[in-house]
Structure 1
């Protein structure tokens, strides 16, 4: 057991929603909900203004709209979130080389690994935590909450104890006294269903949970989880901060406003999901090998299918055919049972940071790739461009994107006359755009034709980079170990 609470947990406050408010001046101080915007969507993140109306993560969007109808409902912009996450992780590595990212918006930091020596007491830990929080605000314009403890469990619970922009340090030796009055939901891994089962046994707080014997918890929750919860309720968590932790998979899924009833529309939807998976793979610098497709019916029956490729890839020309083969099998099983599909997901796992050397050979096997320098019918003609992969081979091609482009709420755009902006909504052949940027006053609203050739989509990562102070770009590359105490 450590004698100094030198493990920090940093959690960005309402991260996705906060980024949207930072980049969209007209939304600052107003309720913002990020996630699936359709009636079957699910809330990913809600701003604190939206939470005041009872909107929370994992809530159905339909319920969120009833509780907070005047909020801005936006699709996620993962490119922007990733850019800012990189800056935050760079700041953490200035404090210690031992940083364990948990997701884009949270991470553990072990101050014992600081190059100038570990903190000597609780006061030094608090100074480091406050300095870290201040640097995040200075370089991103966003706030983070920091918790510190002698274990990962205590640090994580502490970071959630005083949100937003909180800083809670739990002194060594006081962990049990601090944990006991908290609701059982605060413990790692206790969700609503587990909490309900614990409540039936009279355990609503950590102290009440601790009164239960290990045998009772194992009988209720199974050997592994029951035993783990028994230890966590006593503040016992021996997991170390590991800088080697890697993402295990990348996946996306959508719930559709109307059930997909035929293979043609199902394959079109899977094609779009596969393209999004590849974008996220590349944003994270990963490749993957095992492709998974998930289909869920109106009655919530779920069918999954997986296929392992010959080697890791981040090429949509290899991932997409596998996803289409899998969805044929999943849809065949699903439609017979479900009479339509309400949710589809595509994921890839077995991640690596490289592609196999035989990638070109695999693409040549598909008949869709001509390597540079290959011979052509005309001796001096340039090599042919790679042929586009047909999205459908058995049921006809998926239609090309319509001339009237599809705009998503929250999407970044640019217009030569009106400048930068973002999409507020689209429908009936029109798109409404508010023209403003991260460093402008709230902008004016214009309604344009969806096919307006002057309206250009902008990469959200580009918007995020432009909104960051120049110092932030340097921070991610700065070596760890400067003196940040005091």
Structure 2
């Protein structure tokens, strides 16, 4: 751990939903849920107004509708999220050259690499305040919660303490005073199964875990997991802020706040991740032969399964199909805490057209809408423009009719109009690949 509070963690508040509320004035202050809007969809992000009704990420859309039927359910506009994320990451790099993005809405910043007069608490607090104001300015109103501390772990913990739109700076030497009274689930990797296992041994708080011997924790949780958690319980974390890594593989994984038990949902989550991996491969002009899935079970056992293809691919359907087949080799009846998909054996060429003519019979479940080629043409929340009424967004569609609310971030709440789906004066705006990483907040 450092002698200074010089690692900053920034987390944009309810990011996807906040972007939608920013760009759609009629949704400000209302519950907004971004994700798959169909019966088999999954919540990617819920606004704080929706969270008061118990809606959370990775919840099925069906359950979210039952809990908060009056919410606006939107399919997501990833061009808008990516654009806002780029502005935020650029603002972070104005502060320090060492920025480690974790997702579109989250990053670590090494303030020790910044051009600052000193790393006193007053200085880093002012930097953090200025940065939050800068994020609000460049994004047109989005808010971020920030934590600053002497390690990545403590900075992440600090950024969870004053949500939304807050700031917590942990003075060096006070880490354990802050950490030890907290419940053990504040430590990354401590899910419901681990909580229950520790509870049965009388361990409830981080202090309880720290007081237990490392041997006891290893006996309860296994060598790697037990050793890591015991170190974190003492606030020990010397990980550096790493802005870039050489890619030997391309992978995506998500940890879920509650165990996922529905098999179809697991397959859909893997399909979504496969799509993200495929896009990253395509962007880098790479392909890979080996598809791997990572599964962390309810009891925190972590398993992986791999399959090597005949030829390299960057095709999302091929990766998803292989990932779903590999999932069939794992007993997930007790639920899973984490899922991941990766492709390795990278090559700088792609076997063009090898699988290009294959079509899935059924669209995959996804945290977001399906990829653009498979999404409904008039997905809720999509951007449109009308020759007479100007820009707006899809409020809903069906039975040959699309309903549009005409408003933008710069206007007040706008009027609602309905049109025939083939109205020549109404155009659905295309923004390229409208699909990207979803945070599992």
Normalising by structure 2, report the TM-score: 0.77
Partner residue of 2:429? 458
Partner residue of 1:428? 399
Contact 2:290 2:345 in 1 (8 A): no
Offset of residue 211 of structure 1: 2.4
Change over 3 Å in CA distance of 1:351–1:147 after alignment to 2: farther
1:353-406 C-alpha deviation (Å, 9 max, x unpaired): xx72x55xx438x5x9xxxxxxxxxxxxxxxxxxxx43359x9xxxxx99x963
Change over 3 Å in CA distance of 1:88–1:245 after alignment to 2: farther
Please give the alpha-carbon distance, in whole angstroms, between the structure 2 residues aligned to 1:126 and 1:309.
Answer: 54
Contact 1:100 1:245 in 2 (8 A): no
Please give the alpha-carbon distance, in whole angstroms, between the structure 1 residues aligned to 2:290 and 2:430.
Answer: 26
Contact 2:277 2:343 in 1 (8 A): no
Partner residue of 1:380? none
Aligned counterpart for 2:381 among listed residues 386, 407, 410: 410
Offset of residue 156 of structure 1: 0.3
Contact 2:101 2:107 in 1 (8 A): yes
Please give the alpha-carbon distance, in whole angstroms, between the structure 1 residues aligned to 2:219 and 2:2.
Answer: 32
**Structure 1 SS opposite 2:229:** helix
Partner residue of 2:251? 249
Partner residue of 1:443? 414
Offset of residue 306 of structure 1: 4.0
Q: Does 1:349 align with 2:340?
A: no
Offset of residue 35 of structure 1: 1.5
Partner residue of 2:23? 23
Please give the alpha-carbon distance, in whole angstroms, between the structure 1 residues aligned to 2:424 and 2:277.
Answer: 28
Please give the alpha-carbon distance, in whole angstroms, between the structure 2 residues aligned to 1:241 and 1:405.
Answer: 40
Partner residue of 1:133? 132
1:75-130 C-alpha deviation (Å, 9 max, x unpaired): 1222221111111111111111111111111111111111x346331111101111
Offset of residue 48 of structure 1: 0.8
- Unpaired runs of 5+ residues, structure 2, are 255-259, 294-302, 332-338, 362-371, 435-441
Please give the alpha-carbon distance, in whole angstroms, between the structure 2 residues aligned to 1:188 and 1:49.
Answer: 26
Contact 1:307 1:326 in 2 (8 A): no
| RMSD of aligned alpha carbons | 4.1
Contact 1:286 1:351 in 2 (8 A): no
Change over 3 Å in CA distance of 1:135–1:72 after alignment to 2: same
Contact 2:251 2:277 in 1 (8 A): no
**Structure 1 SS opposite 2:20:** helix
Offset of residue 42 of structure 1: 2.2
Please give the alpha-carbon distance, in whole angstroms, between the structure 2 residues aligned to 1:276 and 1:217.
Answer: 36
Please give the alpha-carbon distance, in whole angstroms, between the structure 2 residues aligned to 1:309 and 1:218.
Answer: 41
Partner residue of 2:257? none
Change over 3 Å in CA distance of 1:210–1:405 after alignment to 2: closer
Normalising by structure 1, report the TM-score: 0.71
Change over 3 Å in CA distance of 1:199–1:271 after alignment to 2: closer
Offset of residue 232 of structure 1: 0.4
Partner residue of 1:76? 76
Partner residue of 2:158? 158
Partner residue of 1:186? 186
What pairs with 1:470-481 in structure 2 (closer than 5 Å)?
none
Offset of residue 304 of structure 1: 7.6
Offset of residue 423 of structure 1: 1.5
Please give the alpha-carbon distance, in whole angstroms, between the structure 2 residues aligned to 1:21 and 1:326.
Answer: 37
Offset of residue 133 of structure 1: 0.6
Offset of residue 287 of structure 1: 3.9
**Structure 2 SS opposite 1:101:** strand
Change over 3 Å in CA distance of 1:271–1:187 after alignment to 2: closer
Please give the alpha-carbon distance, in whole angstroms, between the structure 1 residues aligned to 2:150 and 2:241.
Answer: 11
Q: Does 1:390 align with 2:357?
A: yes
Q: How many matched pairs?
A: 397
Contact 2:385 2:428 in 1 (8 A): yes
Partner residue of 2:95? 95
Q: Which moved more, 1:119-128 or 1:193-202?
A: 193-202
**Structure 1 SS opposite 2:2:** coil
Q: Which moved more, 1:434-443 or 1:4-13?
A: 434-443
1:218-244 C-alpha deviation (Å, 9 max, x unpaired): 122110011100010110011111112
Please give the alpha-carbon distance, in whole angstroms, between the structure 2 residues aligned to 1:132 and 1:221.
Answer: 39
**Structure 1 SS opposite 2:132:** helix
Please give the alpha-carbon distance, in whole angstroms, between the structure 1 residues aligned to 2:225 and 2:133.
Answer: 37
Partner residue of 1:477? none
Offset of residue 278 of structure 1: 4.7
Change over 3 Å in CA distance of 1:246–1:48 after alignment to 2: farther
Q: Which has the larger radius of gyration?
A: 1
**Structure 2 SS opposite 1:363:** coil
What pairs with 1:104-119 in structure 2 (closer than 5 Å)?
104-114=104-114, 116-117=115-116, 119=118
1:203-222 C-alpha deviation (Å, 9 max, x unpaired): 22212222222122212211
